[in-house]
Amino acid sequence: MTSLVPRQPVPELEVPTVDGGAWKLSESAPENFTMVAFYRGLHCPICAGYLGDLDRKRDDFRGLGVEAVMISSDDRERASETKEKWGIENLVIGYDLSIDKAREWGLFISTGRGKTSVGVEETAMFSEPGLFLVRPDGTLYASSVNTMPFARPNFGELLKAVDFIVAKDYPARGEA
């Protein structure tokens, strides 16, 4: 498994999107950060609430110069169902993240174990959650990677942190 290092370039990332076309990290041009939120997939009820919260806060993040994308290993059909069932209205939803690319980003991989509590079958393999803030120059600013769906960064707290980071020009940490 790869471990990304703050202040160093992140791997290139390109995924198809539910709304058509492709999303490419190299073409993202935020004022301060691109927030890449990797989620487990349609089968995960915790992801539904988590990414619903991000969807509601998207404009707050944009006001701080942060563009967000959510990405999973789900196929187009499941990703489209995610958008519809979860009521995602404001975020770009990328899909078909390969397991190799997920590993390149340092994400943990799980194998499917049947239907979840919401009655949706897990896919054969999928990535566990990860959240990355990437500078416009393609370098990592911050990351949080999980081995399971629990204990993710709180978006309200992250908004406050980004506000502080931008106001104080706080440097990326953890590079040593």
Core vs surface per residue 115-143: b (16+ CB within 10 A) or e: ebeeebebbeebbbbbbbbbbeebbbbbb
State the DSSP code for 153.
Answer: P
The CB density around residue 58, as the number of other CB atoms within 10 Å, is 19
Which two three-digit tokens encode residue 70? Answer: 């959510």
Count of structural domains, the chain = 1
- Assigned domain for 6 exists: no
* CATH for 44: 3.40.30.10
- Assigned domain for 51 exists: yes
32, 44, 120 from 54: Cα distances, Å: 17, 15, 22
Domain extent for 124 = 14-168
The predicted-structure confidence for 71-121, as pLDDT tens digits, reads as follows 999 999 999 999 999 999 999 999 999 999 999 999 999 999 888 888 888
- Assigned domain for 176 exists: no
- Assigned domain for 5 exists: no
- The whole-angstrom separation of Cα 125 and Cα 161 is 33
Which of helix, strand or coil describes residue 128?
Answer: coil
The predicted-structure confidence for 4-52, as pLDDT tens digits, reads as follows 999 999 999 999 999 999 999 999 999 999 999 999 999 999 999 999 9
Which residue's entry shows tokens 């502080």? Answer: 164
Radius of gyration of the chain (CA): 15
pTM for the whole structure:
0.95
Q: Which pLDDT does position 156 carry in this prediction?
A: 98
- Assigned domain for 132 exists: yes
Which two three-digit tokens encode residue 78? Answer: 């499941």
- The whole-angstrom separation of Cα 93 and Cα 126 is 16
